Amino acid sequence: MRTPTTLTHLAAALAWLGLAAAAQAQTPSSTTSSTPSSTPAAATAPVGNEAAVEPAPSPDGPTLAWSGFGTLGWAQSNRRWGYQRFIDRQGGLERDSLLGGQIDAQLSARWSATLQARLAPSDRQDNAWDLRTTWAFVAWRPNNDWLIRAGKLRVPVYLRSEQMDVGATYNEARLPAELHNIVPTTDFTGAHLTHSWNVNDSDFSVDVYKGRASQAKRVWLRDGAGPLPAGAMVRDVTTVAQGLVATWSDAASKVRLGLHRVQVTPRGDAQLPVRPAWAPLGPGFGYWQTSNGLPGPGVEMARSIDNDFLSLGFEASPAAGWHLTGEYGRIRQRKTERSIDAQTGYLTLTRELGHWSPYLTFARLFSSPRSREWARQLDETTVPAYVPGGDQLNASMRASADAIPVYDQRSWAFGAAYAVSPTAKLKAEWLHTRAKVSSMFDLPSGERLFQPRSVDVLSVNYSFTF
Amino acid sequence: MQRRAFLTLAGGLCAAASLVTLPARADEGVVVIANAPLRGVDGEAIKRIYGGRMVELDGQPLRPVQLAAGQPLRRRFAAAVLQQSDEDFIAYWTVRRYIGKGAPPRELASSAEVIAHVQHTPGAIGYIDAADLKPDLKPALHVLLRR
């Protein structure tokens, strides 16, 4: 059950901040120095008359710049079941709304620090919001070519992974879920090194990063299984992410290639089944054993999952006022056959017409045949009712099928952004998703996993920075 | 309004506190001033400095400052030197800030503040109207705008 009071207050706060942002759209941030930059006398002194100009204090001391961002967004679908956690027929603010603040401290000419916090729906509970630190790092920039950051950072998986929370920086109502909802981790605490080369009018950079994070992984269970109730279930995991990203860009285009590896380990002593084991129960029938707590020959277990991730993206302007953005991702599993193993990609064509930016996006996500086959086997294998404990065995297989991130879906999104100011956008989008199977659907009890379904989503967002 | 920019590097300026006489008539151009040896700096380099991609030159950390958003001179500077609208410049820094690549150049309220700041801050870079350029300033780059 949602919390209307909290949502109402949040909506009011977001609306107020959004209006304030629009009002001060020409002054998107505030910078203060430990020493004031000038005195009123300096500001009014005759220019060029050095004797009359009050000497400005040295600004070599630390300076602070604060800023904020937010989105107030409504999304509603034509389905009773949930899509992307929060979108259903009732509609709601939770899918896209958030509020964040950031402080950038310039500690010296070469050292700086950034702290960012975000108030958004909790990763751990569907009906709660929490305040999380999303950036907290120290940066050292010894020269033009090197940038070294250490602390809590965003994983640079996709072109816009690092700014995903800041809706005012892109035109889409939300970035394609087909890519952005399947990454094994979004944050890490560790180190991120960037080396840049300037070649004529273009830039080439290489990023290397490594770090760990604590994450909450959500699984939707259609039916309960043993002690697990139906509905959302959260598992705590620890991720260790490392990667290499190469980016080439000029004024009008960008190409980016990333290679990433994310190791996901359940918290505590928990282990992950490598693959189900067939357990015969009688002549011609049996079931898929998914846990060593169930009867059968035993299940091979692994302590962790290794995800290898390839990402390739580009931005281009094929003609004046036209922008084309595309990304492709391939995520592969090592050690288990039951985690996400998929290919994904999207293309977005945007037309700039003054303040308006209409766009069209096509996105596709499909799991490997092996992943789909395991999910299908687990979902469609049933133990006859006359077998003692058959219901429990069936429930264990259905729950295990739910736990496999499996997809075969495509989406079309048509929308437009209206730039209220350089730092605020009003957006509207219609999204149509069709899927033969999708773990982004929170299906009700008794529904089959594999069945053609579609969902239409209307979204209206106001995104701003201030 | 379409403007063409002509860049003239005054160069070698760090040591000389008084010097360079440049044509300075109202609305004739934007002058980039710096308290740094900007040898070899051209319009492209100024773009990189204001875009946060060049932070030092010959070991000297650079600290660009700018006028507050909406000021006519800031718009002229963005169009003539940065070759983009001020709105695009704000949008550029909005992205850059939120991908953890720093904060935009510090904003000052007036040309007088820019002059005072640059004169007293090693590595500082600012811009003023060509008409405000006086012989006791340190011009680094002179941008002429032809309407």
pLDDT at A42 over 80: no
Quote the minimal CA–CA distance from B146 to chain A in Å.
24
* Angstrom distance (rounded) from CA A463 to CA A173: 9
Task: Evaluate the CA torsion angle A180, A185, A191, A193 in order and state its sign.
Answer: negative
Quote the minimal CA–CA distance from A181 to chain B in Å.
19
Quote the minimal CA–CA distance from B7 to chain A in Å.
17
Which chain B residue shows the shortest CA-CA distance from A108? B61
Domain count, chain B: 1
Q: Is residue B105 part of a domain?
A: yes
pLDDT at A143 over 50: yes
Q: Is residue B92 part of a domain?
A: yes
Predicted model pTM: 0.84
Mean pLDDT of A327-340: 90
pLDDT at A39 over 60: no
pLDDT value at residue B3: 38
Quick one: tokens of B122?
């090693």
Which helix (H) or strand (E) segment holds residue A182: the answer is none
* Angstrom distance (rounded) from CA A382 to CA A170: 47
pLDDT value at residue A60: 54
Mean pLDDT of A76-86: 97
Cα distances (Å, whole numbers) of residue B85 to A103, A355, B78, B89: 26, 13, 6, 6
Q: What's the gap between Cα A2 and its chain centre?
A: 22
Mean pLDDT taken over chain B: 76
Q: Is residue B87 part of a domain?
A: yes
Decide if B80 touches A, using CB distance below 8 A: no
Q: Select from B94, B102, B120 the Cβ nearest to the Cβ of A58.
A: B120
pLDDT band, residue B135 (cuts 50/70/90): confident
Q: Select from B109, B121, B134 the Cβ nearest to the Cβ of A56.
A: B121
pLDDT band, residue A254 (cuts 50/70/90): very high
pLDDT value at residue A61: 67
Q: Per-residue pLDDT tens for A297-312?
A: 999 999 999 999 999 9
Domain that holds residue B47: 21-144
Angle at CA B140, nearest 5°, toward B139 and B141? 105
C-alpha dihedral, B16 to B20 to B25 to B31, nearest 10°: -50
Q: Is residue B131 part of a domain?
A: yes
* Angstrom distance (rounded) from CA A131 to CA A216: 15
Q: Is residue B9 part of a domain?
A: no
* Angstrom distance (rounded) from CA A280 to CA A289: 10
Q: Is residue B12 part of a domain?
A: no
pLDDT value at residue A137: 97
Mean pLDDT of B21-26: 40
Quick one: tokens of A446?
């008794």
Percent with pLDDT over 70 in chain B = 73
Which chain B residue shows the shortest CA-CA distance from A149? B100
Q: Is A8 left (phi over 0), alpha (psi -120 to 50) or beta?
A: alpha
Cβ atoms A147, B55 nearer than 8 A: no
Burial of A175 (0-12, 13-18, 19+ CB in 10 A): buried
DSSP letter for each residue of A279-348: EEEETTEEEEE-STTSSSS---EES-EEEEEEEEEEEE-SSTTEEEEEEEEEEEEES-SSS--EEEEEEE
CATH number at residue B71: 3.40.190.10
pLDDT band, residue A23 (cuts 50/70/90): very low
Phi, psi at A46, each rounded to 5°: -60, 130
Which 3-state string (H, E, C) describes B32-50?
EEECCCCCCCCHHHHHHHH
Task: Evaluate the CA torsion angle B119, B122, B125, B130 in order and state its sign.
Answer: positive
Residue A55 to residue B132, Cβ atoms within 8 A = no
Q: Which of B56-65, B120-129, B138-147 has the lowest mean pLDDT?
A: B138-147
* Residues of chain B contacting A421 with CB distance shorter than 8 Å: 87
pLDDT band, residue B9 (cuts 50/70/90): very low
The 3-state DSSP class for residue B79 equals: helix
DSSP letter for each residue of A155-180: ---STTGGGTT-GGGSSSSS--HHHH
Mean pLDDT of B3-15: 34
pLDDT band, residue B28 (cuts 50/70/90): low
Decide if B40 touches A, using CB distance below 8 A: no
Q: Where are the alpha helices (DSSP H) in A45-199?
A: 177-180
Decide if B95 touches A, using CB distance below 8 A: yes
Q: Is residue B3 part of a domain?
A: no
Cα distances (Å, whole numbers) of residue A103 to A167, A182, A300, B93, B97: 18, 29, 48, 14, 10
Task: Evaluate the CA torsion angle A375, A84, A128, A241 in order and state its sign.
Answer: positive
Mean pLDDT of A89-114: 94
pLDDT band, residue A410 (cuts 50/70/90): very high
Q: Select from A48, A169, A419 the Cβ nearest to the Cβ of B136.
A: A48
Q: Per-residue pLDDT tens for A146-200?
A: 999 999 999 999 999 999 999 999 999 999 999 999 888 889 999 999 999 998 8
pLDDT value at residue B147: 29
Half-sphere exposure of A46 (CA within 13 A, CB side): 7
Decide if B54 touches A, using CB distance below 8 A: yes
Higher pLDDT, A286 or B11: A286
Phi, psi at A28, each rounded to 5°: -75, -10
Mean pLDDT of A6-26: 48
For testing the chain A interface, which of B98, B108, B114 should be mutated: the one with the most A CBs within 10 Å?
A: B98
Residue A53 to residue B112, Cβ atoms within 8 A = yes
Quick one: tokens of B35?
């308290």
Q: Which of A48-57, A171-180, A231-240, A333-342 has the lowest mean pLDDT?
A: A48-57
Q: Where are the alpha helices (DSSP H) in A66-215?
A: 177-180
Q: Going along B10-104, which residue ranges are E strands?
A: 29-34, 56-57, 60-61, 63-67
pLDDT band, residue A402 (cuts 50/70/90): very high
Half-sphere exposure of A428 (CA within 13 A, CB side): 2
Task: Evaluate the CA torsion angle B132, B135, B140, B146 in order and state its sign.
Answer: positive
Query: Which distant-in-sequence residues (6+ apart) come within 8 Å of A82 by Cβ?
Result: A88, A220, A441, A442
pLDDT at A111 over 70: yes
- What is the CB neighbour count within 10 angstroms for residue A366? 20
Q: Which of A133-142, A413-422, A428-437, B55-64 has the lowest mean pLDDT?
A: B55-64
Mean pLDDT of B32-37: 84
* Angstrom distance (rounded) from CA A190 to CA A194: 14
Q: Is residue B27 part of a domain?
A: yes
Q: Per-residue pLDDT tens for A191-228?
A: 999 999 998 889 999 999 999 999 999 999 999 888 88
pLDDT at B5 over 90: no
* Residues of chain B contacting A203 with CB distance shorter than 8 Å: 53
**Angle at which helices A390-402 and A369-380 cross, to 10°:** 150
pLDDT value at residue B16: 31
pLDDT at A17 over 60: no
pLDDT at B14 over 60: no
Percent with pLDDT over 90 in chain A = 75
- What is the CB neighbour count within 10 angstroms for residue A461? 24
pLDDT value at residue B134: 75
* Residues of chain A contacting B130 with CB distance shorter than 8 Å: none
* Residues of chain B contacting A42 with CB distance shorter than 8 Å: 112-113, 116
pLDDT value at residue B139: 57
Q: Going along A378-422, which residue ranges are E strands?
A: 407-421
- What is the CB neighbour count within 10 angstroms for residue A101? 17
Phi, psi at B45, each rounded to 5°: -65, -40
pLDDT at A265 over 90: yes
